Amino acid sequence: MIKKWWHTSVIYQIYPKSFKAGRPDTSIGDLKGVIQKLDYIKRLGANVIWLCPVYQSPQIDNGYDISDYYSISPEYGTMEDFEQLIEACKNRGIRLIMDLVVNHTSDQHHWFQQALQAKDNPFRDYYIWRDPVKGGVPNELQSNFGGAAWKWHAETDQYYLHFYSDAQPDLNWSNRKLRHDIYDMMNFWIDKGVSGFRMDVIDLIGKDPDHQIKENGPMLHPYLQEMYEHTFGRHDLLTVGETWGATPENAPLYSDPERQELSMVFQFEHLQLDKVPGKQRWDLQPLVLTELKCVLNTWQTALHSTGWNSLFWNNHDLPRIVSRWGNDQEFRVESAKMLATLLHGMQGTPYIYQGEEIGMTNAAYASLADYKDIETQNIYRERIKKGFSHEQTMTAIRLKARDNARTPMQWSRDRYAGFSDAPPWMKLNENYKEINVEQAIHDPDSIFYHYQTLIALRKKHEVLVYGSFRLILEQHEQVFAYERHFQGKILVVVCNFYDQPVSIILPGAENRIILSSNYKDSSLEVEEVYLRPYEAIMYLEKRGESGDEE
């Protein structure tokens, strides 16, 4: 495998609106706020920032509805602020990758405004239009935000396609001029100094709406290869695709270096295991640990030599993992450290979402009005119409709503959690006085320092980066354990996934060196190991050559 700089990197995701307000009397986070906190990110050890969208946008979908790809939204600052951010990152040895949405735009984008004028407008074909069928929608395609994926435009007597809000019309990637306009735009940001892109819902750009194909359409990979050729393929950049339709079978198509497409993809199979199969993510079921093991084992082994994994529990679209699969009450610290250990021991590039490193939790707002996300508001109405009760729907929202990840970053116990001088744009999580960066920095046993240790270990031990993966205790219903093998080194990770203690047998007690543990007094001196609630241990083990594999 050709070694790349991002193989050893750890990426810190910033949702700027909720990260830090850097200007006086503002209620939202901005670019100046990011600059102010770069030393914090450097202290953590992350060396790449993924910056969520800061482009000009009406903010119908919190910036994922871009109205001008070449401008910074005034609420986040100016282009000069962005250039200062790039320079400040560079001075600290931190790279920055931008979030980029090229599956759709805002309906306020000048392309779409032109497309609305007439069927023969040159920009009409930048979007996807269809005539009505039997007086109604062209077909049964559904929006990911609920309802039909087709919006009627009376002035031109056609429907346009939108897989998200009707204010986010889908782009028509079969139009060659559109594609090259996008490539020109990407090169503009590359010239500004960005180190790559996170590509939002990129597996939708090859869609075939007439055959009701959303993900993995027939032209997806030719488009990605063309994009590579005209943009990032000319540079040593990181590209990660958000691919809800990725499988272990097709993921190498994206990330095999020989195919010249993307560096890696985000796959979400493991994060759909608490959803009732065939239903929406709001239809909940308990996580079965053996199923999680199976999924992660499959991805670790499938991409070991033919691609690269993205390692993540959280992002701006997902609930907080410590509330989801940990214990955000009695064992918040222990379970947050366990989940971090389990993930960071695997092969791939780890992603840390802002606040994850201090164990921020779901907000669990009492009122629907406190949830700002358009998806949540739409889903509430849709599920009430389907007969779900208010409390059933709110229970699901409190557990799975995207806004759980979007509450303002908790910097201190001061007024407004140190996020801003004015009331934040979104209600704070009520636990900010107990859970905040200031508290974490002053506690040597905090979650923050556990993440710092895990990041440092990845930079020190190549077995963490390039080692093969082997699941152990495969059928154990409480313990997630695995080995990594590389050039004679064996690294082992053992995690008690639950709040009940458990004993397991681990042969070879005399040859273990503990690298990391979430309890101060963890011991591996005997073969029968007693694991306390959520106890997680990462250690090196020496064996004979017969136990080694590359």
* CA nearest to 323, candidates 312, 339, 344: 339
For the beta carbon of residue 24, count every other beta carbon within 10 angstroms: 8
Burial 445-483 (b: 16+ CB within 10 A, else e): ebbbbbbbbbbebbeebebbbbbbbbbbbeebebbbbbb
Q: What span, in angstroms and rounded, lies between the C-alpha atoms of 341 and 365?
A: 29
- 481/484 Cα distance (integer angstroms): 10
Helix (H) or strand (E) holding 485: strand 479-486
Q: How far apart are CA 73 and CA 59, in angstroms?
A: 10
Please answer whether residues 272 and 281 qualify as being in contact, where contact means their C-beta atoms are separated by less than 8 angstroms.
yes
How far, CA to CA in Å, does 235 sit from each of 129, 166, 187, 193, 232? 36, 36, 10, 11, 5
Please, which residues bridge with residue 492 across strands? 483, 539
Catalytic one of 242, 328, 356, 403 = 242
Kind and range of the H or E element at 55? Answer: strand 55-56
Alpha-carbon span 224 to 240, nearest angstrom: 12
Report how far residue 234's alpha carbon sits from residue 312's, in angstroms, rounded to the nearest whole number: 28
C-alpha–C-alpha distance, residues 298 and 311, integer Å: 14
Alpha-carbon distance of 259 to 356, in angstroms, equals: 34
CA-CA distance, 107 to 60, in Å (whole number)? Answer: 10
CA distance 401 to 63: 17
d(Cα 12, Cα 226) in Å, to the nearest integer? 29
- H or E element in which residue 192 lies: helix 176-192
Between CA 347 and CA 416 the distance in angstroms is: 38
Give the length of the chain: 550
Among residues 380, 200, 402, the alpha carbon closest in space to that of 318 is found at 402
d(CA 435, CA 417): 10
Q: Name the 3-class secondary structure at 338.
A: helix
Whether 242 is a known active-site residue: answer yes
Strand partners for 495: 480, 536
Catalytic residue among 30, 107, 166, 200: 200
Q: Give me the residue label for tokens 């407008």.
A: 121
- Determine which helix (DSSP H) or strand (DSSP E) holds 72, and give its type and residue range: strand 68-72
Of 259, 267, 357, nearest to 309 by C-alpha is 267
Smallest Cα–Cα separation from 367: which of 389, 391, 383? 391
Give the residue numbers marked as catalytic.
200, 242
